[in-house]
Amino acid sequence: MKIINNPSKKDWNKILERPTKTVDDIEGVVNEVFLDVQKNGDAAVNKYTTKFDGVSLDNTLVSSSEIEEAIALVSSELKEAIQLAKTNITNFHKAQKTDKVSVETANGVSCWQEKRAIQKVGLYIPGGTAPLFSTVLMLAIPAQIAGCKEIVLCSPPNKEGKINPAILFAANLCDVTKIIKVGGIQAIAGLTFGTATIPQVYKIFGPGNQFVTVAKQLSTKFGVAIDMPAGPSELLVVADDAANASYVASDLLSQAEHGVDSQVILVSTSEKLIAEVSKEVERQLDKLPRKEIASKAIANSKSIFVENEKIALELINEYGPEHFIVCTSDNDFYVDNIENAGSVFIGNYTPESAGDYASGTNHTLPTNGFSKSYSGVNLDSFTKSITFQKISKEGIKTIGNAIELMAEAEGLQAHKNAVSIRLKDL
């Protein structure tokens, strides 16, 4: 990790740049795939699956026999771990349910708001070097609690044309309605336009590489909503001498092993801790099975020394991390004042891995600084708020004149007439 001492504020933007390609670099490819899938449906989807995933499939729909076969391949220990995670995630997301909001805004004027589930949702589950079966839980559980009627899951097949057994086990456990062996841009395009095999959905969820992220953003041009632009994973740790250097190093590496375009950052007011963490990173890195991937991510990562907590906090809010670990002698300062972060992990015994799997919070979070304006996935992500109003005779008398005056001032006579005709009858 590159060590940076007391960077000038004018250099922060450069120092905090993510190691990602620009949209311009990949938008051409994404557009080409989208147009092809829009025009040619499954034929185009299958063509790109062969091109990008190296496998040709006659049928991309996962059958019940494939699910049964996959369930048998998952160890009982892993099944128990997944079930424990499901329980905690369910408990946390069920607690997010809110009651109907109802107010009489004026005499005879009743207004209320109710939430309704999004009927059709698409879940994108990355496969590749790390098949994220945990993401199935993070997306399908709140979709199920919200009451979504169609939950469609897309995940890329391996070279044998199969989806990882743990992904299928988790999907079956969470009552996913349809599972399709399609990944990448073509999966997002399929969910956007619909094909003979892939249902069209109203909102797409899930993380992915930069191509998937741009594809999700493009889908919004065709009337499909997305959870957020969730790209390569990232972590920022703020720590001082109160932290355990080996714990900090393990947290940094836990995100670095996600992919070569992941980024981890350590911010500290202690040069001593930075030196200790650097040694620990090298020591632990050498023993990782995914050493090659993590090494490339670490090369894109930084340890930043700053003089005090106030500067540290300002820099962190400027970065807007996806995951934010706080391990200092004054954790409350950061917890109380953080404004831009996807999810916060507090203290020596709260590894980011806990949120990834089993603590109960959702791990689908905004990256690339989008935590400045986006929330992570939660129960409300799978619902819409609908407002209702009912006005009595007394109510239209109470607010009618105000409506007439406002409509006339805006030059909208028909709006005024809609009220006036009722008032005349009264």
Active site residues: 322-323
Q: Find out whether 255 is annotated in a ligand binding site.
A: yes
Q: Find out whether 233 is annotated in a ligand binding site.
A: yes
The 3-state DSSP class for residue 225 equals strand
How far apart CA 167 and CA 134 sit, in angstroms, is 8
Q: What φ, ψ does residue 180 adopt, rounded to 5°?
A: -125, 135
Q: Find out whether 263 is annotated in a ligand binding site.
A: no
Q: Find out whether 356 is annotated in a ligand binding site.
A: yes
How far apart CA 50 and CA 18 sit, in angstroms, is 31
How far apart CA 102 and CA 99 sit, in angstroms, is 9
Strands (E), 100-243: 101-106, 109-117, 120-124, 150-154, 178-180, 203-205, 225-226, 234-239
Contacts of 14 (CB under 8 A, 6+ apart): none
Q: Find out whether 186 is annotated in a ligand binding site.
A: yes
Name the DSSP class of 61.
B
Q: Find out whether 359 is annotated in a ligand binding site.
A: no
How far apart CA 2 and CA 149 sit, in angstroms, is 49
- Could you give the strand order of the β-sheet that contains 302-305, starting from the edge strand earlier in sequence? 2-5, 302-305, 263-268, 234-239, 323-327, 343-346
Q: Find out whether 363 is annotated in a ligand binding site.
A: no
How far apart CA 1 and CA 307 sit, in angstroms, is 19
Nearest alpha-carbon partner for 16 in 30, 27, 2: 2
Nearest alpha-carbon partner for 171 in 152, 194, 148: 152
Q: Find out whether 258 is annotated in a ligand binding site.
A: yes
Q: Find out whether 410 is annotated in a ligand binding site.
A: yes
The 3-state DSSP class for residue 43 equals helix
Structure tokens given for 273: 């801790």
Q: Find out whether 323 is annotated in a ligand binding site.
A: yes
Nearest alpha-carbon partner for 277 in 326, 325, 244, 236: 244
Sequence ranges of the binding site for substrate: 233, 255, 258, 323, 356, 410, 415
Sequence ranges of the binding site for Zn(2+): 255, 258, 356, 415
Sequence ranges of the binding site for NAD(+): 124, 186, 209
Sequence ranges of the binding site: 124, 186, 209, 233, 255, 258, 323, 356, 410, 415
